Amino acid sequence: MYSLEVDPIEKCRYPMEEIMPIVSELAQKYTGCDHSSVTYEKAQMLMEAVVYCINEDGRQEGNALATKSIPAREAYENGRKIVKEKLMELRTLYHALISDFRDYGSMCLKDTVRKGIPAFLERYDFKYAPQETLLTLDYPAMRNYGALSGVDLVLCYLRDIQLEQKFLHRMGDKYIIKVLRKYHRDYEYLSENICGIVLQNVTGHMILDKPLPGQGFGQEELESLEEILSDKTEEQIKAYLLKALERLMAEYYDNDDRLLAYLGGGLSDIVTRIKYNTENHCLGQLFVL
Amino acid sequence: MDQNNWMEEMAKQTLAAQVLETNQYTQKYGLVLRKEDAALLAEARADVLRDQKRVEFGPGILPKIIYAFCDSSYIYQDNYCESMARLQEIFFQYKNEMLDEITDDELLEFMREQFENVCRGDFDYLEGTCLDLFAQAIRAGYAGYRETEGKGVFEEVDIVKRWDRELYLEALMDLF
């Protein structure tokens, strides 16, 4: 008997004999009355679709313990409904985002959001392949999405892009573009997170308590930064910057916890680079404007 | 018996029962399957699905194959079980070869027509020539079979000059 293997991360808590009838029904709907059999690949896809929806139901708050007590079919139907709702939420979010979306010249960001997301919305099959992400999401967000896939992943991703837009809009397009240009002459062609580049620059201002936008960092200021940072551990620098970010959120971003969490998540990499550049006396490569 | 084996056994038993039910119709053509034959065909189905890497959900194709071919001039009681097993094997093989572009009914219609009129009961010819040519045409984008549900399309893809009855009669008239 063909054994349909499912990704270990997405293993289902229901036994095969409860899932197979659901997969069988889905397969018959998928093929209409035209085909009595499907290839292994198709069967695998449909199995993963069922498991994805069941796990979607399990991920809902409060369902983790209750899931075992409801039949697999009910968990699947609930999960499918949730997937459909998330797809609608993604569509709404995209339309809200795109009305004031700025790519600041980044081709990667522009293509991912303006072309990639609409392509996903057009091609995503929430019935027969909800687990498929379809996109490569080339523009890197400042978050590790782990094993997320399908509409879950794209929705989380777009929410993060929305947070980035909120952060960047406050600073004005001219300033953002200046920082990016100073960071790299051809920043438009980089596949780097532009929010992270700007945030990195802002940390220099936060450490020196230097207002934005300013005229950039002079030699004395860079030396001052080096002196401040040289005897600090990464943990200490991160803790300080987190506090500074909290103040920033309170003053300019109506205490947005989600934005704080997202930007805070990007600090680890920034702090590592700060520490390295401090040791190598090249903080000017990070604090560019 | 582990979970997979249990489910496989259930599927075999279900198919064997479905196959035995077809006797009610096929017996008028002198074709009857015994319990052992039904079990053999169910086993053959499991083997061919595994070989062709396909999964059957719901009612299988075998009863349809039986109903489609039971009135064939080339199938009789002595070769009935073996013929059904062979047709089943050929069916799944060519579902794959045709990339699932063709429906079950269209493929069955084509197979039946060729088996009866071109292959004259020769399974090797059906598998190796008629279906092979047809599969090549479908993979290349041919879709003419959709209008006719698989009927009368072989001429469009055939590469062999076949027997032409009209030409034969004309030649006969000239001789006499």
What are the pLDDT digits (tens) for B52-88?
999 998 778 999 999 999 999 999 999 999 999 999 9
Whether the ω angle into residue A213 lies within 30 degrees of 0, i.e. cis, is yes
Nearby residues of B139 by Cβ (< 8 Å), 6 or more positions away: B97, B98, B99, B101
Report the gap between the CA of A73 and the closest CA in chain B (Å).
17
How far apart CA B113 and CA A144 sit, in angstroms, is: 58
pLDDT at residue B16 in the model: 92
% of chain A exceeding 90 in pLDDT:
75
Most trustworthy range by pLDDT among A278-287, B35-44, B136-145 = B35-44
pLDDT at residue A43 in the model: 93
* Structural domain total, chain B: 2
What's the pTM? 0.82
Please give the DSSP secondary-structure letter assigned to residue A211: P
Query: Residue holding tokens 């200490």?
Result: A236
pLDDT tier for residue A8 given thresholds of 50, 70 and 90: very low
Domain boundary among B79, B97, B115: B97
pLDDT at B110 exceeding the cut of 80: yes
Chain A residues lying within 8 Å of B109, measured CB to CB: none
Q: Are residues B2 and B83 in the same domain?
A: yes
A 26-85 residues inside an 8 A Cβ radius of B? 27-28, 34-40, 42-43
User: Which of A5-19, A107-121, A232-246, B20-34 has the lowest average pLDDT?
Assistant: A5-19
Q: Are residues B90 and B103 in the same domain?
A: no
How far apart CA B115 and CA A43 sit, in angstroms, is: 31
Mean pLDDT, residues B129-140: 90
pLDDT at A229 exceeding the cut of 80: yes
Other CB atoms within 10 A of residue A193 CB: 22
pLDDT at B167 exceeding the cut of 90: no
pLDDT at B99 exceeding the cut of 90: yes
A 125-184 residues inside an 8 A Cβ radius of B? none
B 94-123 residues inside an 8 A Cβ radius of A? 95-96, 100, 103-105
Mean pLDDT, residues A161-176: 95
What residues pair up with A39 in beta bridges, in sequence order?
B54
Which residue in chain B has the smallest CA separation from A26? Answer: B57
Report the gap between the CA of B102 and the closest CA in chain A (Å).
8
% of chain B exceeding 70 in pLDDT:
84
Residue in B8, B53, B57, B88 to test binding to A, most A beta-carbons within 10 Å: B57
User: Which of A5-9, A149-153, A259-263 has the lowest average pLDDT?
Assistant: A5-9
pLDDT at residue B141 in the model: 83
Most trustworthy range by pLDDT among A205-209, A223-227, B79-83, B137-141 = B79-83
Domain boundary among B41, B65, B97: B97
Q: Are residues B13 and B83 in the same domain?
A: yes
Q: Is B56 on the interface with A (CB under 8 A)?
A: yes
Q: Dihedral sign, CA of B65, B70, B72, B77?
A: positive
pLDDT tier for residue B9 given thresholds of 50, 70 and 90: confident
Q: Are residues B117 and B64 in the same domain?
A: no
Residue in B55, B99, B101, B105 to test binding to A, most A beta-carbons within 10 Å: B55
CA distances from B79 to B18, B55, B86, B118 (A): 20, 27, 10, 19
Q: Is B92 on the interface with A (CB under 8 A)?
A: yes
pLDDT at A88 exceeding the cut of 80: yes
Q: Is B54 on the interface with A (CB under 8 A)?
A: yes
pLDDT at residue A130 in the model: 97
Chain B residues lying within 8 Å of A38, measured CB to CB: 54-55, 57, 100
Q: Are residues B82 and B113 in the same domain?
A: no
Higher pLDDT, A171 or B157: A171
How far apart CA A155 and CA A59 sit, in angstroms, is: 15
Among candidate residues A124, A154, A157, the one with its CA nearest the CA of residue A140:
A157
Q: Are residues B90 and B135 in the same domain?
A: no
Quote the ipTM score.
Answer: 0.80
Q: Are residues B108 and B118 in the same domain?
A: yes
Mean pLDDT, residues A204-216: 82
pLDDT at residue A11 in the model: 67
A·B CB contacts under 8 A: 65
Q: Are residues B30 and B93 in the same domain?
A: yes
Chain A residues lying within 8 Å of B49, measured CB to CB: 2, 37
Q: Are residues B75 and B130 in the same domain?
A: no
**Length of chain B, please?**
176
Residue-averaged pLDDT of chain B = 87
Nearby residues of B15 by Cβ (< 8 Å), 6 or more positions away: B38, B41, B42, B45, B60, B62
pLDDT tier for residue A3 given thresholds of 50, 70 and 90: very low
Q: Are residues B91 and B170 in the same domain?
A: no
Question: Residues B57, A21: contact at Cβ < 8 Å?
Answer: no
pLDDT at A37 exceeding the cut of 90: yes
pLDDT at B104 exceeding the cut of 50: yes
Give the residue numbers spanning the domain of B60.
1-97
User: Which of A11-25, A93-107, B43-57, B140-154 has the lowest average pLDDT?
Assistant: B140-154
Of B4, B54, B103, which has the smallest distance from its Cβ to A34's Cβ?
B103
pLDDT at A66 exceeding the cut of 60: no
Contact A24 B60 (CB under 8 A): no
Domain boundary among B63, B97, B131: B97
User: Which of A67-71, A176-180, A182-186, B103-107 has the lowest average pLDDT?
Assistant: A67-71
pLDDT at A252 exceeding the cut of 80: yes
pLDDT at B158 exceeding the cut of 70: no
Which residue in chain A has the smallest CA separation from B59? Answer: A36
Q: Is A280 on the interface with B (CB under 8 A)?
A: no
User: Which of A67-71, A246-250, B67-71, B153-157 has the lowest average pLDDT?
Assistant: B153-157
Q: Are residues B67 and B116 in the same domain?
A: no
How far apart CA B66 and CA B62 sit, in angstroms, is: 6
How many Cα atoms sit within 13 Å of B121 on the Cβ side?
11
Report the gap between the CA of A168 and the closest CA in chain B (Å).
50
pLDDT at residue A12 in the model: 77
Among candidate residues B165, B148, B166, B169, the one with its CA nearest the CA of residue B157:
B148
Q: Are residues B91 and B111 in the same domain?
A: no
